[in-house]
Amino acid sequence: MSKVRRVMLLGMLVTLIVLTVGTMVWVNAADKTIQLKVVIGPDTPDNKAQNQATLERIKRFEKANPGVKCIPVPFTYTSRQEFFIKQAAHAAPDVLDVWATECELLVSKKWIVPLDSYLKKWDKYDWHLPNSFDPFRLKGKIYGVPFSGYVKHVIYNKQMFKDKGVPEPSINWTWDDFINAAVKTTDKEKGIAGFAAMTKGSEGGWALTDLIYQAGGEIETYKNGKYSAAFASPEAISALQFLKDMKWKYDVLPANWSNGWVDVYNVFGSGKAAIVFDADWGRNVAINGQGMDPKNVGVALMPKGNGPKGRQMGVQGGRFYVINAFCPAKSRDAAWKWLTFELWDQGNITGLLNEAEEARKNKQYRAQFEYFPLKPSSPFYKEWANAFAKNSDVLLSWGSEEFLSLLPKTAHTEPPIEAQYVYGQVLSPIVQEVLSNKNADPAKLLKDAAAKFQKDYLDKVKE
C-alpha cells in the first residue's frame, strides 16, 4: 500500500470516528431536550395577533424553562374530527383546550391524564370557584383546568323592545313574561321573530336542556352508583311542550326555524329576532359580523320555568386545558408548566390589551361575555376588571352588578355521560319533531328516547 493511500485511509477512518462520536453527542443532547407540542391558531388573518402573542409566550416560556423546546401545532378543538385524526398520527398537541362536555369521551378513550398531583401543588388552585372543575371531575379524579366559561343567559334587542313598548326583562322574569315579550316583538309581516331558538344539529338538543333545567328537570341523575336518564320527567315534558307552543300556539319562532349556532346570531344581528339565548361568543357574530350596535344588546337572566320546580337556569360550560396522554412521561412536568404558564397572570392581561388594540385597529369590538371560573376575590379578577374599564371603547362588557352576582346561581353543568350524543342524537331529533309535526306528543317522544338512551348507554356505564 502506497504512503498516499495509507494517509487517505487513515484520514477516512478519523473522519468516520469524529462523525460517529459527534452524532452520538448530538443525539444525546437532543434526547435531553424536552420537546413539547403546543397549540397555535390556524394561520389565518383573524388569528394574526393571537398567534403572534402565542409565539412570544413560547419565547418567554423557553427562556424560563431551559431544556424545553416548544413546537407550535396549528390546531383548534372546534370539531372532534381534526383531533381524532391528529391523535391517530400522534400529532395532536401535548396540551390542548377542549369543550366542557368532553371529559367522559377523552377519559374513556384514555386520551388525557389526571392532574390531581399537579393541582395539589398549584398555588392558584384556590383562586377557582369550587364547582368550576366539576365538568372535568370523573370517578374522583380531575382531568382538566378551566380557563374560560359561560353560563347561558338571554340577550335581547333593546331597540325592538322599546319600539314595541315591551318592558325590558326584570331580574326574576318568568316563562310567562318571556313569551309575552316574544309575542309582542314578533312581526311576521316584516319577518321578525320574537325568539330564535337553536334547533339544528347538536345545538338543538343543547338548547332544549336550558328549558328543561328551567322547568326544574334534569338530563341525567346519579344515585347509588348508577346513572339514570331523567329527561322523561313531567318537568322535561313541560319544557318540550313550551318549545312546541312557541311554534304552534304563539308562533314566535322564525319562519325558517331550522337554525344552528351561527344562524341564530345572524338572525339576531340582522334584526330578524328580538330574543336569543347566548353563552359568551354568540353576540360577537351579531355585533362584528352583522354590524349590530352593541348598545342595543341587553342581557337578562334565563326566565324561570313554570310549575312548582321552576327556576332560572342555563347551561354552564366552557373550555378546559388538558394534557394529552400521548405526551411522553418525561415531558409531562413541562406540559403542566406550559399549561399554567402565565395563566391568571400578567400574560393574560397583555393578551387582552393586544386584543383591544387589534379590535381598535380593525374598527371592531371584542364582543365576548366574560365569565371566569375564578372567585371575585382572586387578585387576577381585579386586574382584569381594571383592563376592561380602561379600554371600554372596544372591550365590551354587559350586565348590572345584580345580574353578575346572580348569574352563577343560575348555572347548571352539562350531562356527565355522552353529553354530545344526548344533544345531537337524542334530543335534537325530538326538538325537530315537535317543530315540524303539530301532532307530535312530547311525553311519548321523551319517554321513548329516555328508555332507549338508558338501555343503550347509561346501563353500560361502569363505575
Partner 1 sequence: MENANLKPISYIPKKSPFFKTRKFLGTYGIGLAFILPAFLIYGIFQWYPILYNFVLGFQNYTPGVPADWVGLQNFERVLSDSVLPKAFLNTLAFTGWALLIGFLVPVIAAIAITELRKGRSFFRLSIYMPTIIPAISLYIMWMFLFNPAVGLLNQILQFFGLPALEWLLSQKTALVSLVIMSTWANFGSTALLYMASLSAIPEEYYEASEIDGAGIWQRIRYITIPSLLPTMLLLLLIQLLATMQVLQEPFVMTSGGPNNATMTLMYMVYNYAFVYADFGRAGALGIMLFLLLLGLSVVYIRVNKIVQDEGR
Residues that bind partner 1 (CB under 8 A): 79-81, 84-85, 87-90, 105, 109-111, 191, 200-201, 204, 254-258, 260, 326, 420-421, 424-425, 428-430, 432-433, 435-437, 452, 456
CB 128 within 8 A of CB 375: yes
DSSP, collapsed to helix, strand or coil, labels residue 373 as: coil
- To partner 1, the closest distance from the beta carbon of 243 in angstroms equals 14
Q: At closest approach, how far in Å is the CB of 253 from partner 1?
A: 11
- The span from the CA of 35 to the CA of 338, in Å, is 12
CA distance 20 to 2: 27
Residue owning grid cell 339544528: 200
Residue 254 or 298 having the CB closest to partner 1: 254
Collapsing DSSP to helix, strand or coil, 138 comes out as strand
The smaller minimum CB distance to partner 1, of residues 81 and 224, is found at 81
CB of 139 to partner 1, least distance (A): 19
Q: Shortest approach of partner 1 to residue 302 CB, angstroms? A: 25
> Are the C-beta atoms of 158 and 168 separated by less than 8 Å?
yes
Shortest gap between Cβ of 371 and partner 1 (angstroms)? 27
Complex with partner 1: residue 87 or 348, whichever CB lies closer: 87
Nearest to 262 by CA among 180, 217, 175, 200: 200
3-state secondary structure of 395: strand
Closest to partner 1 by CB, 80 vs 164, is 80
Contact between residue 442 and residue 240 where contact means Cβ atoms under 8 Å apart: yes
Q: Which residues pair with 149 in a beta bridge?
A: 318
Indicate the residue among 110 and 223 with the shorter CB distance to partner 1. Answer: 110
Q: Give the residue with the Cβ less far from partner 1, 79 or 224.
A: 79
- Bridge-based pairing state of the strands 95-99 and 314-323: antiparallel
What angle is formed at CA 282 by the lines to CA 207 and CA 101, rounded to 5 degrees? 50
Reference 275, options 163, 153, 381; nearest CA is 153
Helix axes 234-248, 202-214, angle to 10 degrees: 120
CB nearer partner 1, residue 360 or residue 447 = 447
Between residues 220 and 370, which has the closer beta carbon with respect to partner 1? Answer: 220
Residue 407: how many other CB atoms lie within 10 Å:
22
Rounded to a whole number of angstroms, the minimum distance from the CB of residue 430 to partner 1 is: 7
Residue 229, C-alpha cell as written in the block = 336518564
* Coil/strand/helix, residue 451: helix
CB of 444 to partner 1, least distance (A): 13
CA end-to-end distance (rounded Å), the chain: 78
CB of 192 to partner 1, least distance (A): 11
Minimum CB distance to partner 1 smaller for 323 or for 396: 323
What Å distances lie between residue 200 and 81, 82, 178, 343, CA to CA?
19, 22, 22, 35
User: Cβ 200 to partner 1, closest distance in Å?
Assistant: 5
